[in-house]
Amino acid sequence: MDRYLYEDILENTVRPWARANSGRSWVFQQDNDPKHTSGHVANWFRRRRVDLLEWPTSNANQKFVQLEAAWKSIPMTVVQTLLDSMPRRCQAVIDAKGYPTKY
């Protein structure tokens, strides 16, 4: 994918969906891939007055530390409740023959 294809996706897929679901004012977040941060794409966002939520650069170690902290912040009662519900959830998938379940 290059910046032109990315802009085409933004224009013909993302923007219509966002306008239909979020109205005229919406915020978009993307990573720091070069095609996302190119001047060409930045101009697309400016011309359409779309606000961008900045995505800070970070290294893999920072992401691991953040992920570990997030996991540790989940109370064990929540983890246990989810574990206890797994047989019921699995049975729901089996009963639905792979179709969507209430979960």
Q: How many domains does the chain have?
A: 2
CA dihedral 67→69→71→72, nearest 10 degrees, is 160
**Claim to verify: residue 3 and residue 47 sit in the same structural domain:** yes
69 and 50 fall within a common domain: no
Residue 58: the pLDDT is: 66
Which structural domain range is residue 68 located in?
58-103
Residuewise pLDDT in 10s, the chain (103 residues): 999 999 999 999 999 999 888 877 788 998 888 898 899 999 999 999 999 987 777 676 788 888 899 999 999 999 999 999 999 999 999 999 989 998 7
| pLDDT for res 54 | 79
75 and 62 fall within a common domain = yes
Is-contact 33 1, C-beta < 8 A? no
How far is it, in rounded angstroms, from Cα 5 to Cα 83? 43
Check whether residue 65 and residue 102 sit in a common domain: yes
